[in-house]
Amino acid sequence: DAGITQSPRHKVTETGTPVTLRCHQTENHRYMYWYRQDPGHGLRLIHYSYGVKDTDKGEVSDGYSVSRSKTEDFLLTLESATSSQTSVYFCAISGSTSGAQGSPLHFGNGTRLTVT
């Protein structure tokens, strides 16, 4: 399995509180992604990064922000969590060290977030 670590693995938080999820990779891959998985919706792209400090929005970016200050770390922040953000969040990485396009995604084990 690709060297991807997500933390925390589980989190319960209250509506209105900020939450940060962390994704750490040891593969030196250029591209990193945050997806959320919900029944009936599959995986939906929240944000992605194509390099340090280079990020862009995905399909469902409202209410989320990201940061990538180092190649190995990609943080997802919910500024003010809502119940609709209860989900399983997956981090993924892609690409060789040369930044080749067209590489498949490799996923972390996910973070289960519950917003009460």
Q: Give 2 or 75: the residue with its C-beta nearer to other proteins.
A: 2
Select the residue interacting with other proteins from 33, 64, 74, 89 (CB under 8 A). Answer: 33
CA 40 to chain centroid, in Å, comes to 20
- Part of the chain binding other proteins (CB under 8 A), chosen from 17-25, 62-70, 76-84, 88-96: 88-96
Q: Give 80 or 109: the residue with its C-beta nearer to other proteins.
A: 109
Please, which residues bridge with residue 65 across strands?
77
Q: Is 26 in the site for other proteins (CB under 8 A)?
A: no
Q: Is 48 in the site for other proteins (CB under 8 A)?
A: yes
Query: Per-residue DSSP letters for 32-84?
Result: EEEEEEETTTEEEEEEEEEETTEEEE-TT-TTEEEEEEETTEEEEEESS--GG
Which residues in this chain contact other proteins in the complex, by CB under 8 A?
Answer: 31, 33, 35, 40-45, 48, 50, 56, 58-59, 90, 94-95, 101-110
